[in-house]
Structure 1
């Protein structure tokens, strides 16, 4: 299990390479949801998502031989962008494997940063290819099955706990789940710094690797069909499963349509441009409010903003939300 000392060490390691993103009350979301809301604006992070934290922590931990071999990662978008950008900054050759369904903007940004991008037909085959490339000698920077990466992502929770305004401390924090690296790290940090807080995960329908694992008693392969590719891991890892099963109150599942509506609501009410992987926080928040009752103060980890106006309006039109 990742401890607070691991996360504090990661914070010291990546300082100067990443942004300490704002942790702020949101009057707009407070009015929308009817309870006090504090948002951790990780979409303002370098490369547009939290992923740069774990990628940087891992890259800075590599030996000279591992750096010289070059790094490889599998990604639905944000991890690939983060690794490509930070590998270039640290003079390490990077290969990124993505499914063809990944956002075109994400593929383009990884290529523009200098990474070699390999495309596959789906996330299952992307994970298979990246393991073959690892076996051929490249250094794997896994998006979530790595304690160093999880500790890096945990710095989000460390900052949240330390930076929230006095008197507005959340009773409940909601975090999106793909493979589980972010929520594992955030939950470890929050349990250490604010042990009374409840932590909730949220997935989209068709990207339910963690909720399926919790029902089964361990990680397993799941079919992936959600449009939210940045949450579409075909399986969680034993490492992230162990953290979530021990530290997270529950994992909620919301439809893609509601996640897209959440992104539109974040734009209108919070004045932030977020991808559906963050938009799913709002329908999950309503579920939390129904389950917990009075006295709730919400914390939302707005994990990323890597979507284009064309993509978001296209999804909105597809679901009849415009």
Structure 2
């Protein structure tokens, strides 16, 4: 299990390379949901998502030989962008494997940063290719199955705890789940620093790696059909599963349509441009409030903003939300 000392060490290591993103009260979301809401704005992070934290922590941990050989990652978008950009900044050669369903913008950004981008037909085959490239000598920077990466993502929770220290505090924090690296790190930080805070996860239908693992008693392959590619891990890992099983209250599942509506609501009420991986926080927040009541004080980890107006409007039209 990742401890607070691991997260604090990661915070010290990545300081100066990543942004200490704002933690702000949201009057608009407070009015919308009817309880106090605080937002951790990771969409303002370098590369547009929290992923820069874990990627940087891993890159800075490499030996000289590993740096020289280069790194490889598999990604539905955000992890690949983060690794490509941060590897270029640290003068490490990166290869990024993405499914063809990954957003075109993500592919373009990874290539523009100088990474070698390899495309596959799906996430399953992407993970298979990455395994082969690792066996050929590249260092794998896994998006979630790595204690160094999880500790880097846990710095989000460290900052959230620090930034709400002098307020009435939070009762419940909601975090999106793909493979579970972010929620594992955030939950570990909050368990150490704010042990009374409940942590909730949220997935979209068709991207249910962690809820599937919890039902099965451990990681299992899951079928992927969600439009939210940045949450579409083919399975959780044992490492992330162990953290969620021990530290997370419940993993909620919401439809794609509600995640897209959440993006529109975040734009209108919170004045932030979020991707569906963050949009799913709002329907999940309503489920949390139905369980815990009106005395809640919510923290939302707004994990990323890497979507284009055309993509978001296309999804809104598909679901009749325009």
- Give the structure-1-normalised TM-score: 0.99
Determine if contact 1:36/1:168 at 8 Å carries over to the other structure.
no
1:231 is the counterpart of 2:235: no
RMSD across aligned C-alpha pairs, in angstroms? Answer: 0.6
- Summarize the alignment of residues 88-99 of structure 1 with structure 2, pairs less than 5 Å apart: 88-99=88-99
1:157-172 aligned at under 5 Å gives the runs: 157-164=157-164, 166-172=166-172
Q: How is 1:95-244 mapped onto 2 (pairs within 5 angstroms)?
A: 95-164=95-164, 166-244=166-244
Q: Distance in 2 between matches of 1:118 and 1:40?
A: 32
Supply the distance in 2 between the matched residues of 1:267 and 1:168 (Cα, whole angstroms): 26
Task: Quickly say closer, same or farther: Cα 1:168–1:26, change in 2 above 3 A.
Answer: farther
Deviation at 1:57, TM superposition (A): 0.2
Superposition deviation, residue 170 in structure 1: 1.1
Distance 1:168 1:297 in 2: 8
String of CA shifts for 1:84-141, please: whole Å, max 9, x gaps.
0010011100000000000000000000000000000111111111011101111100
CA distance in 2, matches of 1:313, 1:249: 33
* Other-structure match for 1:259: 259
Tell me how far 1:178 sits from its aligned partner: 0.1
Aligned residue number for residue 314 of structure 2: 314
What SS does the corresponding residue of 1:61 show, helix, strand or coil?
coil
Cα distance in 1 for partners of 2:283, 2:202 equals 9
Any stretches of 5+ residues in structure 2 without a counterpart?
A: none
Structure 1 residue 37 and structure 2 residue 34: aligned?
no
Aligned mates of 2:264, 2:124 — CA distance in 1? 30
Kindly state the Cα deviation for residue 179 of structure 1 after the two structures are TM-superposed. Answer: 0.2
Whether the aligned pair in 2 keeps the contact of 1:73 and 1:143 (CA below 8 Å) is yes
CA distance in 1, matches of 2:230, 2:169: 28
1:70 aligns with 2:70: yes
Q: 1:253 aligns to what SS in structure 2?
A: strand
Q: Which runs of 5+ in 1 are unaligned?
A: none
CA distance in 1, matches of 2:220, 2:273: 33
Cα distance, 1:168 vs structure 2: 3.5
Distance 2:164 2:191 in 1: 15
In 2, Cα distance between the equivalents of 1:129 and 1:257?
Answer: 32
Query: Using the alignment, how far apart are the partners of 2:221 and 2:167 within structure 1?
Result: 42
* Superimposed CA distance per residue, residues 21-62 of structure 1 (whole angstroms, 9 cap, x where no aligned partner): 000000000000000000000000000000000000000000
Aligned length: 322
- Residue matched to 2:51: 51
Q: Determine the C-alpha separation between the residues in 1 that align with 2:94 and 2:169.
A: 40
CA–CA separation in structure 1 for the residues paired with 2:318 and 2:243: 36
SS class of match (1:299): strand
Is the 2:35–2:294 Cα contact (8 Å) retained in structure 1? no
Normalising by structure 2, report the TM-score: 0.99
The Cα of 1:165 is off from its aligned counterpart by: 6.0
Question: Secondary structure at 1:277's aligned position in 2?
Answer: helix
Contact 1:174 1:202 in 2 (8 A): yes
Question: Partners in 2 of 1:165 and 1:238 — Cα distance?
Answer: 32
CA distance in 1, matches of 2:300, 2:6: 23
1:11 aligns with 2:17: no
SS at match of 1:84: helix
Between the aligned partners of 2:221 and 2:271, the Cα distance in structure 1 is: 37
2:303 is aligned to: 303
What do residues 56-92 of structure 1 show as CA deviations (whole Å, max 9, x unaligned)? 0000000011111100000000000000001001110
